Amino acid sequence: MSTPSAIPRTAPIAIAPKPPRFPPSRQGSTHLDSYSGLRNGFDSPDSSSPNGHSTSPCEACLRRRHDCVMSDEDDGCIGCQVSGTDCSLVESPLQRKRKLNGEVEDSHSKRSSPGRSDNRRRRHHQPSLSSTAASSSLIEEMANFGGPTLLKRTLGLQSDRYSQYIGPTTDFEPSLINLSSFDPHDESLLARGTLRRVSDNDTFLMLPDNNTPGYEHVLEDVDAIENVVAPHGRKLIELYFRVVHPAFPIIQKNVFYEKYERSYREFSPPLLAAIYILAINWWEHSEDLATLPRPNVRELERLVRTTLADALYRPKLSTIQAGLLLSQRPEGDQWAPTAQLVAIGQELGLHLDCSNWKIPPWERGLRKRLAWALYMQDKWGALVHGRPSHIFSSNWAVQALTPNDFPDVEWDENDGEDRLEIDRGRTLFGQMIQLSLILAEILETFYTLQATQSVVNAGQQGTQLVLSLAKPIQLKLKEWHGGLPASIRMDSTFQSNSTPSTRLSSIGYLHLAYFATEITLHRRIIRSIDAAAPGAAAGGVPIVDPYIQHICRSAAKARLISAMDFVNRLTPLHLRAFWYFASKTNFALIGTFGSLLWATSPGREEADWYRRRLGEYRWTLSVSSKPGEGKGLTEFAMGMLDITTGLLKQLPEKPLLSRSGSAVDIDAARRQSILALGGVGGLNGVPSVSAMSGMSGMSGMSGLESFSGLPSGEVSGVQSPRSPISESSDEGMYGNFSMTAGMAGMAD
């Protein structure tokens, strides 16, 4: 069978930062709503077709308020031909045929229109290559009749086709792909589909939407979604962009509004439903909606499940957007959907470097933002669910975000406080990506099966191995926290024109994620030390030096105090804002960490101190769970805290340690540790006794301040009952330990 010749296509479409206006609305479009650099106004209806013939609108276009433009062959309007709807301007549309490349193709296999009986909702199979090519050519004709448009040159946003990345080991041999004849659009028609080459090394297979399950009732689904929230759809959109979008910028606001003004039918059903579901969480924060009954969220959830399942057969960037937004719901952080999203992202090539691809610049920026949002979803999902991550650095080529990867049009449309909020949100998003990279390193270094086994195989040197691996990561965390811009620090006043802002602030989720990352690192250290406690070694001989154990536990206590004080400082403007999906578990991890320190406390006094602090933390969580102030967010943490503290009641009673005895023990342990290092060069790069004595008088930033990443005044001054010295003295030890025990690095 000979390979079909390439289908004539329209002239190349110029890509420019400020393209001409969109053509009038197109029926049944389900492409993504995220592309930047577009106009600010709206198009006015044009009563003439591109060939100059005036037409009276057909019934379908009149009902949908769309322009009706006849095709050159007078076999119905272009809108009906694209959507597969019977055009009322043609007497017998079911028997019409089209010649294409010498083949006669029956074209009555159309998508069912809304309102048809259920027996029309069955999938219509169209395996013919000619039919696929004809549909593609027709779509392109329609896309250009109102002037050049950005839609057709995109890769992951087309309304009639979806893309599949061709990997290096598939049945498509890259060397043979390069032998294909590509047209000026970098496309080559094959019997299996259309090849789309975006770079010298990356090629995609473009396939038609109309061969996929559920395609024939897309319009019915989006109508059903809009009917659930009607007439409040516009208010919910405003809520979403006011509360969620600044802190999670994966959708482009101006284009979304532009399309919504034309018709909600231009959106992918699961994406529209996901935005509505997420926005309803702030229903009471709209003056217009607060006194009205909420929409049926259960029905929206049912619709989004079915429509998202259908969209998986024709995945686009809108599918990733919908999945990411659904995962931000209080009950949406499930692990299996995250794994599915990662697979879809790889199908769309989001793991690749698209910097030099032959696609519009705005799509490159969108792809990078979605790729990093997917990366964060995978890493934080792996943390909160305790599962292996699906994204590895060896197969991740996405470049870091730059200001050019965000839509400039948002700057043009806003000023004053709105503009500051946009900038703050972009900074927040970028810093969360950087923190996620550090978290990924912690998970890979300490929590994989291989990493866990390496510590076990190290035997008595396991704790030293953990401490040596932890130091460089701890330094990265310190550098990250120290480099946070002022606009997203917790002490930011969020003021404009000297007037305190009443805007909700989502910066809390970033700082909470920071403490969760610190806790994740120190949990591994405390576990290692507890496994090497005196009772764990043969004959009761401690494997870890008591002085090092004391320093590491003191450093862990500093993290816990800082994290609890952070939660105590949250205001209603923080608690009522958008919180990243992992925040619910991150609140709980603070309590879990305190419970771990309680369980591993060597004496009754220290255990009682942690018990009291956990009681105070639970009270803080209960105050924060008032209706409208993080309800559900902190309730989960309270439930987990009750479970862990309940388990702690089964612990055997700990021995009573006196303060003086502890002081003598620690001081003796410190001297023993120094003597064990030797008198000259020391061990593992640790200075000798004389060098350490010279360091003891050094001043500078306290270990506690640098350790927590917060000024010392923000850290509770409550003294641990076990500690024989003040917290300030502990800080001095942290500093010395940083310089004397490079394998630990717990002070800096």
Give the pLDDT confidence score for residue 446 in this predicted structure. 97
Q: How confident is the model at residue 101 (pLDDT cuts 50, 70, 90)?
A: very low
DSSP string, 383-408: HHHT---S--GGG--PPPP-GGGS-T
Question: For the chain, what are the domain ranges?
Answer: 461-491+504-748
- CA 97, 98, 103, 109: dihedral to nearest 10 degrees? -60
Measure CA 482 to chain center.
Answer: 24
Q: What percent of the chain has pLDDT over 70?
A: 63
Distance (Å, whole) CA 673 – CA 551: 12
Residue 503 has what pLDDT?
84
d(CA 131, CA 147): 25
Q: Give the number of other Cβ atoms within 10 Å of residue 679's Cβ.
A: 10
Tokens of 723: 């500690």
Residue 649 or residue 133, greater confidence: 649
Task: Please tell me the predicted confidence (pLDDT) of residue 128.
Answer: 35
Residue-wise pLDDT for 433-489, tens only, equals: 999 999 999 999 999 999 999 999 998 899 999 999 999 999 999 999 999 999 999
Contacts of 706 (CB under 8 A, 6+ apart): 478, 734, 747, 748
Q: pLDDT value at position 79?
A: 63
pLDDT at 336 (0 to 100) = 93
Across 260-264, 391-395, 612-616, least confident range: 260-264
Compute CA distances 272 → 31, 233, 316, 598, whole Å: 11, 10, 14, 47
Whether the CB-CB separation of 321 and 32 falls below 8 Å is answered with: yes
Query: Which pLDDT band, with edges at 50, 70 and 90, does 88 fall under?
Result: confident
> Rounded distance, CA 25 to CA 10, Å?
20
Mean predicted confidence (pLDDT) in 604-618? 95
Tell me, what's the pLDDT at 421? 85
pLDDT at 412 over 80: no
Looking at per-residue confidence, does 651 or 518 come out higher? Answer: 518
Could you read off the pLDDT of 528-576 as tens digits, one per residue? 988 766 544 444 455 668 888 899 999 999 999 999 999 999 999 999 9
pLDDT of amino acid 653: 84
pLDDT of residue 562: 96
pLDDT at 30 over 70: no
Rounded Cα gap, residues 611 and 597, in angstroms: 10
Tokens of 616: 């105070």
